[in-house]
Amino acid sequence: MLSRIAESLFWIGRYVERADNTARLLDVHLNVLLEDPWVDEPSANASLLSVMNCEYEAPVSRRDVLATLAFDPERSSSIAWTLGAARENARRAREVISTEVWESLNTTRNQLPRWTASARPHEYFVWVRERAAVVWGLHSATTSRDDAWHFMELGRSLERADMIARLLMTRHFEGTTGPNWTTLLRSCSAHEAYLRTVRALVTEERAAEFLLVDRLFPRSIAYNLQKAEDTLGLIEGASNSRALSDRARLALGRARTNLEYRDVRDVLDDLPGQMREVQSACGAASDLIRDRYFLPASTVLWSQEAL
Amino acid sequence: MTADQQTPWTGYQPVQAWDEAMDLEGRVRDPYRRVYHEIDRMSGEDLYSRAEALASTYLAQGVTFDHAGEERPFPLDIVPRVVGAEEWDIISPGVAQRVRTLEAFLADVYGSQHCVNDGIVPRRLIATSQYFYREAAGIDPANGVRVHVSGIDLVRDQHGIWRVLEDNVRVPSGVSYVLSNRRAMSQMFPDMFGAMGVRPVLEYSQRLRAALTRCAPNDIDDPTIVVLTPGVFNSAYYEHSLLARTMGVELVEGRDLETHNGRVYMRTTAGRRRVDVIYRRVDDDYLDPVVFRPDSALGAPGIVHAARLGNVTIANAVGNGVADDKLIYTYMPDLTRYYLGEEPILPNVDTWRLEEPEAREEVMDRLAELVVKPVDGAGGKGVLIGPKASREELDQVRAQILEDPRGWIGQPVIQLSTVPTLTDDGLEPRHVDLRPFAVNDGDDVWVLPGGLTRVALARGQLIVNSSQGGGSKDTWVLGGERQRGRKTPPPESRVELSGIGAVPQAAHPDDIEHGQQQQQQQQQGEPTC
């Protein structure tokens, strides 16, 4: 697979997943603003923007948050921009991805202006999640499990681990007590799965454990880190230069085992710190993947000698 | 039907040009009969709503072209253009003959130049052609093919005679629109399409792939073929990706390629991979910064050298532009006789070479009634149509011609044939041309049955290029197999089907038995009293 194409696929995976999770995150946030009677809205908004690594000017209104993270197609943090970027990458990799996936991404982009003009954020978020599901469903039904599949899955699982970590940070926002664990589980579509697995009422430790390290649930952090590691192994296959990809797996494995082998109480006591660790591990792995697969090994374009 | 009832055809009136659907008395021509009746049955609104549906599917599929930096759906008209089987029997061999002449001419020009020594073409003409590249001399293509793909632009004059207007043997584009127009139109008019016996165009990609496979260097059995695109911002990017996709090959940009020791490689996630055939959609000038424009960021350095060594085949070959120079065009009938010993099947449009003093004098006198074109222009750039030009424009072009007579040709104004086209005022005749595509695999020149029909959307407009606001039509060549000719299927087929017997489709047993259960469950719910 061409390096340039692989990079586009990796980013399609990341962008679509990011749009989906940003929609979930914003839904939770708006919910908190509604339900918490003692909320200090500007501080909570500011916390959200800083978790998403966006610049802001205090005081931050609800409008600012929605513009920055949901609607403004000019800002790279927004869902609108992300979906547009996913479509542009799909256009670059058009001959590799299936027609169905391309059309679903293209239609999504074409419908965006209609949605961003409407004033009801919740409906927009539902639509975004639905579109992401359409893309993933078609992707899964129409793509051979070759490198094209692996690179998109790699981007997707990295992004998901990263975004769940950001979502859990909402527990520790300034100016609010944050969402309760049931809300968090629901926003990860994990509530029913949790009830079936744990068979008990939602407690802090068990809910956290479920979202952090459950081995079977596809939206737990450890599950996605593990999946990214496995995918890297599949991409590498029998290839001989493994150093860089192994370093990416190392970073992911360390972050995963750190969660798995630590007492959940410890993690909860330092939740923002621990979640930051997960995010930086994902970032580091992403950089290493870029160095290994997407950048040319040498910058030489033309040489007379055999290399 | 009463005479005063309105149909979409009410008010359709051919003008002085050859109308392909209707003669001047309003009689429908044979090939269009079926199309005419199908549309006759529709209401005007129905026609417009179908046209809208076409545009929206194109937007969803991303069948767009970049116009001034904006992506627009490629305009496709709802009325197909029909070409009868007997007309195609002239066009197809005519185009193939033209391609064989061009091949022979290019091989000669970049070889021993017999045509110059025998006095057919003046040496000066070749030496001064902007697209004659000495760098291309001595590159021998693996199977002798230089014009792997060509687009020969045809027009039909006021007497209905097909003529060649232009040869395109560098990087002719538009074939993707032929393929996607066909897909959209056959879905829009499935019945009419099946009943008319339209020849299929879908095999184009397979033909092209086969031709590219056969031109691989060193007789490689399973060569690695790539399509080289300038990038996603190129106006024809949709076409490049469609061709790569339907041929099942990689679409590369210049930065994906590297050249080592005279061999071309592409960068993949598993290291370098050797490339054997490059179907390039990048112009010569930008192809290789070592040989051509050094500032080009679109090409790959060293690939021309690799081609010279015979390690890679570049299709179409470098330097083909000398053959579609519009002055060489005027020599094409002579060249056909010279190389092939045949009479040209398709005539040229009469053309004055403005570097010849008598011709120049005549054209200068009649500039206001002629068309003049720069010899190296593409996409309708720089074309001046005398009767439509203002005083200043005429004076300006006159000065340009006197300054550089080698750079211009003159032609009489040809009233291109017209085809019914849906406009804001209903169906109206609009001028069209036709670009059939030919693929040369070394043994045989195959002409795609159909081709791109470009239509000028403004009334009376004679320039059809999409960069000048033109649209397109699906071109239906008749004479293929009719899918719905027979009324009843032959009896054997039914016997055979029932003989095989059907394998039952399983379902969840509960869902089949559920009648009984449901009954019992409902009874359980009833109050007992």
B71 touches chain A (CB under 8 A): no
Q: Does B244 touch chain A (CB under 8 A)?
A: yes
Q: Which residues on chain A are in Cβ contact (under 8 Å) with B224?
A: none
CB distance A95–B302 less than 8 Å?
no
Q: How far is CA B171 from CA A152, B1, B43, B164, B438, in A?
A: 33, 51, 42, 18, 12
β-pair type (B250-252, B225-228):
parallel
Mean pLDDT value of segment B67-74: 70
Check if A95 contacts B (Cβ < 8 Å). Answer: yes
Rounded to whole angstroms, how far apart are CA atoms B119 and B127?
14
Tell me which residue in A91, A106, A147 faces B269 most closely, judged by beta carbons: A147
Contacts 24+ apart (CB under 8 A), B59-63: B59/A110, B60/A103, B60/A106, B60/A107, B60/A110, B61/A99, B61/A103, B61/A106, B61/B180, B62/A91, B62/A94, B62/A102, B62/A103, B62/A106, B62/B238, B63/B176, B63/B177, B63/B180, B63/B238
Going by C-beta distance under 8 Å and a sequence separation of 6 or more, which residues neighbour residue A53?
A77
DSSP output for B328-383: HHTTHHHHHHHHH-S--SSPBPP-EETTSHHHHHHHHHTGGGEEEEETT--TTTT-
User: Contacts for A212-218 with beta carbons within 8 Å, 24 or more apart?
Assistant: A212/A168, A212/A259, A212/A264, A212/A267, A213/A259, A213/A260, A213/A264, A217/A190, A217/A193
Residue A305 contacts B where some CB pair is shorter than 8 Å: yes
User: d(Cα A207, Cα A212) in Å, to the nearest integer?
Assistant: 9
Q: What is d(CA B145, CA B136) in angstroms, rounded to the nearest whole number?
A: 14
For residues B24 and B16, what is the distance between their CA atoms, to the nearest angstrom? 8
Give the residue carrying structure tokens 């829009």: B188
Q: Looking at the complex, does the CB of residue B493 fall below 8 Å from at least one CB of chain A? A: no
Answer whether A91 sits within 8 Å of B237, measured CB to CB: yes
Q: Could you tell me if B418 and B431 are in contact, meaning their C-beta atoms sit under 8 angstroms apart?
A: yes
CA distance B487 to B468: 47
Cβ proximity of B104 and B121 under 8 Å = no
Amino acid at the residue A186 = R
Q: Does the beta-carbon distance from A306 to B260 stay under 8 Å? A: yes
Residue pair B149/B205 in contact by the 8 Å Cβ criterion: no
* Helical packing angle, B175-188 and B44-61, nearest 10°: 130
Helices B237-247 and B204-214: crossing angle in degrees, nearest 10, is 80
Q: Do B245 and A302 touch (CB under 8 A)?
A: no
| Nearest residue on chain A to B299, alpha-carbon basis | A301
pLDDT score, position A302:
55
B238/B255 Cα distance (integer angstroms): 19
Q: Does B294 touch chain A (CB under 8 A)?
A: no
Helix H or strand E encompassing B143? none
The C-alpha atoms of residue B166 and residue B151 are separated, in whole angstroms, by 9
Please report the DSSP string for B276-300 in residue order.
-EEEE-S-HHHH-TTTS-TT-SSS-
Domain B350-413 has CATH 3.30.1490.270: yes
> Which candidate from A92, A94, A239 shows the least CB-CB separation from B245?
A94
Helix (H, G, I), strand (E, B) or coil at B437: strand
Taking each helix axis from N to C end, the angle separating A204-213 and A147-169, rounded to the nearest 10 degrees, works out to: 160
Question: Which tens digits make up the pLDDT trace of A227-269?
Answer: 999 999 888 875 555 566 688 899 999 999 999 999 999 999 9
Contact B62 A297 (CB under 8 A): no
Looking at chain A, the whole-number percentage of residues with pLDDT higher than 70 is: 93
Query: In terms of Cα–Cα distance, which of B391, B336, B288 is closest to B102?
Result: B336
- CB contacts of B256 in chain A (<8 Å) are 2-4
8 A C-beta contact, residue B398 and residue B347: no
CA B34 to chain A, closest CA, distance in angstroms equals 33
Rounded distance, CA B135 to CA B146, Å?
15
What are the structural domain ranges in chain A? 3-294
Structure tokens at B223: 């060569």
- CB of A103 within 8 Å of a chain B CB? The answer is yes
Closest CA to A22 of A269, A228, A187: A187
**Percentage above 70 pLDDT, chain B:** 89
CA A185 from chain centre, in angstroms, equals: 16
CA–CA gap between residue B404 and residue B398 (Å, rounded)? 10
What DSSP state is assigned to residue B22?
B
Confidence (pLDDT) at B94: 96
Minimum mean pLDDT among A55-59, A157-161, B518-522: which range? B518-522
pLDDT at position B3: 45
With tokens 């291309």, the residue in question is: B136
Q: Which residues contact B68 (CB under 8 A, 6 or more apart)?
A: none
Q: Please, what is the Cα angle at A1 between A221 and A304, to 5 degrees?
A: 130
What's the gap in Å between the CA of B73 and the closest CA on chain A?
Answer: 12
| Distance from C-alpha of A262 to C-alpha of A272, rounded to nearest angstrom | 15
* pTM of structure: 0.83
pLDDT of residue B514: 63
pLDDT of residue B341: 95
Is B250 an interface residue toward A (CB < 8 Å)? yes
**CB-based contact A2 B261, cutoff 8 Å:** no
Interface of B with A in 93-132 (CB under 8 A): none
Amino acid at A181: W
Peptide bond into B316 cis (omega under 30): yes
pLDDT confidence of B199, banded at 50, 70, 90?
Answer: very high
Sheet holding B408-412, edge to edge: B352-353, B408-412, B370-374, B384-385
- Closest residue of A to B60, CA-based? A107
* H or E stretch covering B454: strand B452-456
- Model confidence pLDDT, tens digit, residues B456-514: 888 888 777 766 667 899 999 998 776 555 555 555 555 555 556 677 787 777 776 66
Q: Which residues of A touch B60 (CB under 8 A)?
A: 103, 106-107, 110
- Rg of chain B in Å (alpha carbons): 28
State the pLDDT confidence band at B1, using cuts at 50, 70 and 90.
Answer: very low
CB A281 within 8 A of CB A226: no
Alpha-carbon distance of A9 to A96, in angstroms, equals 9
Comparison of pLDDT for B484 and B515, the residue scoring more: B515
* Integer Cα distance of B271 and B109 in angstroms: 40
Percentage of the residues of chain B whose pLDDT score is greater than 90: 45
Task: Collect all residues with Cβ–Cβ distance below 8 Å to B125 and sequence separation of at least 6.
Answer: B327, B328
Instruction: Say yes or no: B56 contacts chain A, CB-CB below 8 A.
Output: no
Measured between beta carbons, the chain B residues lying within 8 angstroms of A110 are 59-60
Q: Output the pLDDT for position A306.
A: 45
Contacts of A303 in chain B (CB under 8 A): 259-261
Question: What whole-number distance in Å separates Cα of residue A179 and Cα of residue A234?
Answer: 38
What does the block give as tokens for B422?
A: 């849906």
Distance CA B510, CA A40 (A): 55
- B314: closest CA of chain A, how far (Å): 17
Contact between chains at B267 and A300 (C-beta distance less than 8 A)? no
Round to whole Å and give the CA distance between A289 and A292.
Answer: 5
Q: Which residues of B touch A8 (CB under 8 A)?
A: none
Domain boundaries, chain B: 8-129+148-200+326-349+417-487, 350-413
From the CB of residue A151, how many other CB atoms can be counted at a distance below 10 Å?
A: 28
The pLDDT assigned to B379 comes to 60
Q: What is chain A's Cα-based Rg?
A: 20
- Counting one residue from A and one from B, how many pairs have CB atoms under 8 Å apart? 85
pLDDT tens digits, residue range B12-70? 888 888 999 998 888 999 999 999 999 998 888 888 999 988 888 888 888 876 666 66
Buried b (16+ CB within 10 A) or exposed e, B22-61: beeeeebbebbebbbebbeeeeeeebbeebeebbebbbbb
Nearest residue, CB atoms, B244 vs list A95, A106, A293: A95
Tokens of B288: 């290789």
Q: CA of B123, closest CA in chain A: separation in Å?
A: 36
A94, A293, A307 member nearest B260 (Cβ) = A307
Give the distance from residue A105's alpha carbon to the nearest chain B alpha carbon, in angstroms. Answer: 9
Q: Is the preceding omega at residue A113 within 30 degrees of 0, hence cis? A: no
Q: Give A184-215 pLDDT, tens digit per residue.
A: 898 888 988 999 888 878 888 999 999 999 99
Q: Which of residues 120-149 of A touch B (CB under 8 A)?
A: 147
Contact: A302, B261; criterion CB under 8 Å? no
> pLDDT tens-digit profile of B107-144?
999 988 999 999 999 888 888 888 888 888 888 888 89
The structure tokens listed for B378 are 């593409």
Secondary structure class of B319 (helix, strand, coil): coil
Contact A94 B268 (CB under 8 A): no
Q: For residue A298, is pLDDT > 70?
A: no
**Residue B286 near residue B232 (C-beta atoms within 8 A):** no
